[in-house]
Amino acid sequence: MPLRADIKKVLVIGSGPIVIGQAAEFDYAGTQACRALKEEGLEVVLVNSNPATIMTDKAMADKIYIEPLNLDVVKRIIEMEQPDSVLSTLGGQTGLTLSMQLAKEGFLEAHNVKLLGANPETIDKAEDRQIFKDTMLRIGEPCIPSKVVETVEDALAYAEEIQYPVIVRPAFTLGGSGGGIAYNPEELHEIAENGLRLSPITQVLIEKNISGWKEIEFEVIRDSNSNIITVCSMENFDPVGVHTGDSIVVAPAVTLSDKEYQMLRSAALNIVQALEVEGGCNCQFALHPDSFEYAVIEVNPRVSRSSALASKATGYPIAKVATKIAIGYTLDEIVNAVTGNTYACFEPAIDYIVVKFPRWPFDKFVYAKRTLGTQMKATGEVMAIGTSFEQAMMKAVRSIELKLDTFNLPKLQMLSDSDVVKLLSRCDDERSFVVYEALKRNVEIDQIHEITKIDKWFLAKMNNLVKMERKLVKKELTPELYLEAKKMGFLDKTIERLSGESVPEKRYASYKMVDTCAAEFKAETPYFYSTFDDENEAAEFLEEHQSDKKKIIVFGSGPIRIGQGIEFDYCSVHCVWALKEEGYEAIIINNNPETVSTDFDTSDRLYFDPLTPEDVASVIATEKPWGAIVQFGGQTAISLTKYLEQAGVRILGTSAKSIDEAEDRESFDELLQKCQIPRPEGKTVFQLDEALKAAKVLGYPVLLRPSYVLGGQNMIIAHSDADVEEYMNIILATGIENPVLIDKYMMGIEVEVDAICDGTDYLIPGIMEHIERAGIHSGDSISVYPAQRLTEENKQTIIEYTGRLAKALQVIGLVNIQYVIHNGEVYVIEVNPRSSRTVPYISKVTNVSMVDLATKIMLGATLKGMGYETGVHPVGDYVAVKVPVFSFEKLHSVDTMLGPEMKSTGEVLGIAKTFDEALYKGLIAAGYKIKHEGGVLMSVRDKDKEEIFPIAQKLEKMGFKLYGTKGTAAYFNNYGLHVEPVNKISEPGADNVLDLLESGKVDYVISTSSKGRQPMREGVRIRRKAVERSIACLTAIDTAKVLVDCIGMNESIQDVDLVDITQI
Amino acid sequence: MSEQKAYLLLANGQVFEGKSFGVTGTTIGEVVFATGMTGYQETLTDPSYYGQIAVQTFPLNGNYGTNSSDYESPKCWLKGYIVREWCEVPSNFRCEGTIDAFLKANGVIGLYGIDTRQLTRVIRESGVMNGMITTEDVFAKKEELLMQIQAYEIKDAVKTVSTKEKQIYTVEEPKHHVVMMDFGYKRHILQHLKNRNCNVTVVPYNTTAEEILALRPDGVMLTNGPGNPAENTEVIQTLQQLIAQKIPMFGICLGHQLTALANGGETVKLKYGHRGGNQPVKELKTGRVYVTSQNHGYAVVGDSIDPNIGTMSHWNVNDKTCEGVEYKNAPVFTVQFHPEACGGPRDTSYLFDRFMDLMDKEGK
């Protein structure tokens, strides 16, 4: 069937802020969806609260609402815009759940809106545990013995019946939030209770533990004519028990014979037919390793992280095809965009192997519980394509940016053999490294398999890497051995380090095409990966598609991690678009399968490969680019600068020298002196004793951080020698190449500026001010544009300084500068000569396409030439408030106290005519519940008490019941405020502060503590309990203040203006 | 792993240097590529590959080893086997050995360690061509070898692979008796019939119509098989006689091609054929598209059959070649693809049910 005639205007619901379990993959899916709809001439209305996305770009839809993703807002948008359809399956769980609520309430029907992509029955069949089980039973697909329960007692009773260990899966939660494996009644009690609370329908599934079985996934697509195909199979390196988002995954499945493969494939088709999905669907199976027994684990009737991976792994654009199906097309009508002459109704055949490797945040959250289970913890992932598993694994390990180029983890080398074997049974993020270490210690594959249940196929392949490493160490480095090592994915650098010899005759990689069909048909898609074969298809492609256009490489930003998120993909993609518009050929190198930048039709050519200098060198050897751009790919791309300069590659924009000048402490200090711009006093140290001495000289509190950081990685404010010691010990344990910086901590308003410079003039689209005072990482602060509290003089100084710095650093392109206003004076804290986290949002609200302008400037344009005056851009009619979003419920034992180290995973934006309304929208969008009654628990350090007092007073006036830990309560009571004292955890007696939190009487927690972040500390435990109980916990006075103001405003979501940002 | 060098010399003179597995020596065959990502064992034992050298496009082969229950016939009919990498340490609960051991046991010459994608692209661009795998030096006498290679032809294919003796398979509660004309059948065709309560008599390809009718079958199954269909003139005549008797027949692959020829249709050699488990086929009556398993180098010319005799029932979504014919002159239908799967998807196994229905209806 072709396009349905009754579809003219479609509402697309996005997935909201990036959180663990729902990340950039939905921007990728949503962007593909919007483009697919627009391609058909349909009018697209978009709602998404996440401003860092490409899908919320003006080019993507006709009407764009960056508004809170809740039912009331979406209803109002439907009433205003009167779309005839809603597309529900491209916005992750958030979009799906909202659509279902709208449908079930009858709202869609009442407004003549069709639900595209899924119907409520399908979703219930897939997502409601009991209906799902019944459906599977009806069609004869086996499920794992399990039972849906609604109370802890029922959970315990059923667990006795099927025996421990059991798995707890809460219904309708993201990324498996609140789930886990329980080995005994005590554990089950805890996990089930938590899961029941997190489930919006208070249901959890208690399930027989089948950990150790193989975990296999299929991505299926079905259309309205019941045509059905599988796009890709995937096999998890880690057997059942580890969330697939936390597993190393290979595509296609490798240890299944055709019989097993077809059995599961048929089962997947059977399920998707029964569910009557129209679009994409993910089916997860557990397969007994020693029989044909299998069980359906889970079905996701929408595009997902796995479908993004499957799309990138095969070249098959699942989100686009799913969208076309949703608006009426059938698979045999949709052309396969990769070959251009076959159709979407076929199954990709691939002639390589793909490895997906998760990126976890444990390098930042050093106290987080690292064990992996049913709850996802990874923030992002990389994908690697190779002609062998070994090659793909080696590419993956150097792409995750943990400074590794093999599976040798330095800290494991110190352990005894028996300790290594012991570690094998611990299932955490380091397991693949432990496996490698065990293989190096000659632990038998059988024994490793026995302990880990990882299939021997994977272990034998890992062992091949071990063998190669040994060969390189022991044998002479002949050209044959060198080539063999290259084919296994070793870098020259690694080969030389292991063998102690220089490589015989350097080989650059050649490239193969990802074509969906294993070369069966000629493909035109410029999507390549590196190998060490003779034939270079990329070079052939260039030969066949000769053009006079200059070629420019844009480096992507690698895996999504805290501090380097989707905003950098936004920037890379915009840069590519600008280059194309200016008549250049744009080439992307990136390794992140969740992104728009790695879509094969974003750039002129896509190289899906690691971003190390050596990997990049091969692309350069093939492409011979005219220039390269490093400004937009975050620190990942910036790190390539030195290499590119040495290699003689033209770096467009700010020079390597300037980049270094901003990052190197000493030259930066000199530059500031030259510009006569003050900054907080600071020192550079390598050792603990130096650090302590420096801290004493500067005077506490001091700020500690390693140089060359991103997202405030490993940054703290130290208030005492003990803090400095704790910090230095952690830093020194991981080994440091660059010094640690110690600065005087200055309290004050933090201000952030992004500017575009052409060498002569500079443009500041807007000055942003942070709600939280300096000391909290800018990424974790609520950021307001335009700044509300600055004096005119401050503003002028900031504009003046920005111009001076930009000129002195000879910035060509973007620069991000952070200031603090301390006692009325402006100080510079940080200068980043590159794009920043705030670029997407500030571009959207000021209408200054920053990346676009910056790119054009790098190509030679001037601001004046493009019609911009130097200085600050006129302030518009709207106030925008960016609010960070965290994923603390996924990360056990992480202290939620905000500080100089970034902790948020995503952000939302509130836009309105007034600050109050924008703030209200931002907080609502970030998930804060604005309640007007209830309880507030306060536990704050002494120095904060005075400032908290007026906040507490306000709360009391509004009718909140106040609780406080003893010290806090006593202080307030002294000043005549009634605060009920509560016992600390350490104090004897029942009803301590944790019991209070459990009781449900508390709606907000205000908690600040002066001491470190160890999980056992009182403050940390209170905050963790708040996270577990889903109670809003405010750890900064300033955040608490604005939230309380917001509660006092009596705003309602029914009253706020909804803003179509295309009209700004 | 063996380090002995081995070469592939293509009829166009191109040489690929790799390493030897399976047995050593020299072999000549028609080089074809197969795109399945699983099912190498089925490929290795599918008689339709007789006379050919198969190249696997998926780079990692032998991952789950070999096991005796997944053979499609008792032996390997390939002239040679080419992979990028074969797995020394296979892993699967049914694994009995490596593919290297399998090739050795079957006396088949293998080549690994070459860029199979490069080779596939050569075949795609130039069409299937003959080639030689050898562990001897190819450079010294290259011209002479090329002449040998170019002269190679697959001959007497069906004759060679077909059973010499009648085979009888019975089930406990038979509903039908099917005579299966063996042109090189895959075991799972037999299995599908048995699973549907058919007694099956497998007969050699050159069994006459009278002999077949004398077995009093409810239906005749025409199997897959190797080679150029037009070569089988004797069989084509037999089929004409069976069609005249209006006996229910179901043809797969070569069986489909031979039925077309028996009805006055034509066949044509495809440039590089369809071999894999991902071919989309549209059932024209319903518009439904099925993903099918295929292994063929020849195809029926769609409009070569008189519309009064038969109509095209299926086509290939990619290249619109004929994938099935529904006959009007007799209760006969045939498909180019493999509904018995193995390896490949099982999405069209319902066609065996249709064959049962046909026998029910005609048998009454």
Residue spans of the domains in chain B: they are 5-154, 158-363
Q: What percent of chain A is modeled with pLDDT above 90? A: 78
**What does the alpha-carbon distance between residue A647 and residue A617 come to, in Å, rounded to a whole number?**
8
The residue ranking higher by pLDDT, A889 or B170, is: B170
Query: Residue A708 pLDDT > 70, yes or no?
Result: no
Of A254, A519, A533, the CB nearest to B63: A254
DSSP string, A854-895: HHHHHTT--TTTTT--SEEPPP-S-EEEEEEE--GGGSTT--
Residue A136's pLDDT is 94
Show which residues of B are catalytic: 253, 338, 340
DSSP-derived pairing of the beta strands A879-885 and A783-785: antiparallel
Please report which confidence band the pLDDT of residue A341 belongs to, taking 50, 70 and 90 as the band edges: confident
Residue A1051's pLDDT is 82
Residue A174's pLDDT is 60
Coil vs helix vs strand at A217 = strand
Q: Chain A: nearest CA to B38, how far in angstroms?
A: 5
Interface of B with A in 99-118 (CB under 8 A): 115-118
**What does the alpha-carbon distance between residue A231 and residue A220 come to, in Å, rounded to a whole number?**
6
Residue A117's pLDDT is 86
Residue A753's pLDDT is 97
Q: What share of chain B is helix, strand, coil (3-state, %, to 5)?
A: 30, 35, 40
Of B59, B93, B341, the CB nearest to A351: B59
* CATH of B158-363 given 3.30.1490.20, 3.40.50.300, 3.40.50.880, 3.30.420.40: 3.40.50.880
Residue A177's pLDDT is 72
Q: Comparing C-alpha atoms, which of B290, B301, B228 is closest to residue B266?
A: B301
Give buried/exposed letters for B107-120 (b at 16+ CB in 10 A, else e): ebbbbbbbbbbbbb
Q: What is the pLDDT of residues B107-135, one digit of tens each?
A: 999 999 999 999 999 999 999 999 999 99
**What does the alpha-carbon distance between residue A447 and residue A438 come to, in Å, rounded to a whole number?**
10
All domains of chain A, ordered by start, with CATH?
A: 9-116 (3.40.50.20), 145-209 (3.30.1490.20), 355-499 (1.10.1030.10), 525-652 (3.40.50.20), 681-744 (3.30.1490.20), 929-1049 (3.40.50.1380)
A251 touches chain B (CB under 8 A): no
Q: What is the pLDDT of residues A418-438, one digit of tens each?
A: 999 999 999 999 999 999 999
Please report which confidence band the pLDDT of residue A713 belongs to, taking 50, 70 and 90 as the band edges: low
Residue A986's pLDDT is 83
CB contacts < 8 Å between A and B, how many?
161
Residue A900's pLDDT is 84
Residue A1010's pLDDT is 61
Residue A893's pLDDT is 84
Q: What share of chain A is helix, strand, coil (3-state, %, to 5)?
A: 40, 20, 40
Q: Chain A: nearest CA to B216, how far in angstroms?
A: 34
Whole-number mean pLDDT of chain A?
93
- HSE toward the beta carbon, residue A674, CA cutoff 13 A: 13
Residue A208's pLDDT is 86
Residue B343: closest CA among chain A residues belongs to which residue? A258
Top residue of A213, A346, A487 to mutate, by most chain B CBs within 10 Å, is: A346
A927 touches chain B (CB under 8 A): no
Q: What is the pLDDT of residues A544-603, one digit of tens each?
A: 999 999 999 999 999 999 999 999 999 999 999 999 999 999 999 999 999 999 999 999
Average pLDDT of the residues in A244-269: 97
With beta carbons under 8 A apart, name residues in chain B contacting A349: 35-37, 57-58, 276-278
Q: Residue A1064 CB: number of other CB atoms within 10 A?
A: 16
What number of residues does chain A have? 1064
Residue B364's pLDDT is 56
Interface of A with B in 220-249 (CB under 8 A): 225-230, 233
Interface of A with B in 503-562 (CB under 8 A): 512, 517-522, 533-535
Query: Residue B50 pLDDT > 70, yes or no?
Result: yes
Q: What is the pLDDT of residues A802-812, one digit of tens each?
A: 999 999 999 99
Q: Chain A: nearest CA to B45, how far in angstroms?
A: 14
Q: What is the pLDDT of residues A473-516, one digit of tens each?
A: 999 999 999 999 999 999 999 999 999 999 999 999 999 999 99
**What does the alpha-carbon distance between residue A452 and residue A425 come to, in Å, rounded to a whole number?**
6
Average pLDDT of the residues in B168-173: 97
> In this complex, do A520 and B41 lie within 8 Å of one another by their Cβ atoms?
no
Residue A176's pLDDT is 62
Query: Residue B21 pLDDT > 60, yes or no?
Result: yes
Query: Residue B78 pLDDT > 90, yes or no?
Result: yes
Residue A736's pLDDT is 64
Query: Residue A710 pLDDT > 60, yes or no?
Result: no
Average pLDDT of the residues in A298-325: 94
Q: What percent of chain A is modeled with pLDDT above 70? A: 98
Q: Comparing C-alpha atoms, which of A434, A202, A191, A365 is closest to residue A713?
A: A365
With beta carbons under 8 A apart, name residues in chain B contacting A258: 36, 38-39, 41-42, 70, 342-344
Lowest mean pLDDT among A170-179, A720-729, A924-933: A170-179
Coil vs helix vs strand at A254 = coil
Please report which confidence band the pLDDT of residue A987 belongs to, taking 50, 70 and 90 as the band edges: confident
Residue A1043's pLDDT is 95
Average pLDDT of the residues in B82-93: 97
Q: Comparing C-alpha atoms, which of A554, A547, A582, A548 is closest to residue A857?
A: A582
Query: Residue A1014 pLDDT > 80, yes or no?
Result: no
Average pLDDT of the residues in A237-245: 93
Whether the CB-CB separation of A386 and A489 falls below 8 Å is answered with yes
Average pLDDT of the residues in A838-867: 96
CATH topology of domain B5-154: Glucose Oxidase; domain 1 (3.50.30)
Query: Residue A198 pLDDT > 90, yes or no?
Result: no
